[in-house]
Amino acid sequence: MNFLVEVVLLLPLLFIFYLESFVKLFIPKKRKSVTGEIVLITGAGHGIGRLTAYEFAKLKSKLVLWDINKYGIEETAAECRKLGAQAYSFVVDCSNREDVYNSANKVKTEIGDISILVNNAGIVYTSDLFSTQDPQIEKTFAVNTLAHFWTTKAFLPSMMKNNHGHIVTVASAAGLVGVPFLLAYCSSKFAAVGFHGALTEELNAFEKNGIKTTCLCPNFINTGFIKNPSSNLGPILEPEEVVDKLMNGILTEKRMVLVPSSLNFLLILEKFLPQRFREILKKRVNIKFDAVIGYKVKE
């Protein structure tokens, strides 16, 4: 009963905060400077990670680039140097905890403390549950979820000591809504979104308000990971568009970045619409992509 009374007493604050949020819609938020910040990006040898590295390079950050692909990561680093930034490349298997910790120690010794961590490395298998091999499921969680724990445990202590830093979680819209034939991927991305939310609350509990968090949840991106994707939500996203939204989210310290922004509206609808109507709506969305299907429906 006391809790309900407290909630009622907070209603005036709710109105004030709604009004504040509405006013902020018309006032562009100032972007913070990342010049000189040491930025580590996992999965920087291609796709979103590579383009994100280029954007930080343009802003004169010092870049530490990780990827399992030696050729890809060296190519990214070379282009970042052409853009005028210091860039260091490391071949790291983010699914291997000891490799992550050993590489992190090397980074801290040779380059310095990381102040912006972008957990971007990811892997996806497009198949139903029965066609997804056990090692593939384990690999999916190792890269898409557990790696976030290892990198954050390695680099967060110095951020907490200075009460300064930013941790970015690259998740997916598939971490907000389940998609058939992406069971392992969706599960791992739901966990990544949960990691972001819980980490944010834990930093608040420690009163480390100088450490910011951002989570990116995009729809299908034209990076080649998923073959022939399509849906009625609109055209497949180009990587440049997604990275533009991500960088804006980081520089304005936005906690959740959904791309396209219409995903915000759809998620609100899902919370309030009846289940049967939601099922019809999902069929209208008509998500399709190439997948391996092992289960055979009996006729």
- The Cα 122–Cα 100 span in angstroms is 15
Helix (H, G, I), strand (E, B) or coil at 224: coil
8-state DSSP, 299: -
Are 169 and 195 contacting, i.e. CB atoms less than 8 angstroms apart?
Answer: yes
Question: What does the alpha-carbon distance between residue 156 and residue 203 come to, in Å, rounded to a whole number?
Answer: 10
Residue 132 and residue 34: Cα distance in Å, rounded?
41
Q: Quick one: CA dihedral 35, 39, 44, 47, positive or negative?
A: negative
Q: Which residues contact 220 (CB under 8 A, 6 or more apart)?
A: 226, 229, 230, 231, 236, 237, 289
CB burial of residue 286 (10 Å; 0-12, 13-18, 19+): exposed
Q: Is 185 a catalytic residue?
A: yes
Residue 198, both tokens: 């819980």
- Residue in 98, 96, 89 with CA at minimum distance from that of residue 67: 89
Q: What are phi and psi of 41, to 5 degrees?
A: -120, 120
Please give the C-alpha separations between residue 209 and each of 157, 162, 203, 206, 213, in angstroms, as whole numbers: 14, 11, 7, 8, 10
∠ CA 78-246-238, nearest 5°, is 75
Catalytic site residue from 88, 101, 185, 295: 185
Cis peptide before 260 (omega within 30 of 0): yes
Q: What end-to-end distance do the CA atoms of the chain give, in Å?
A: 56
**Catalytic site residues?**
185
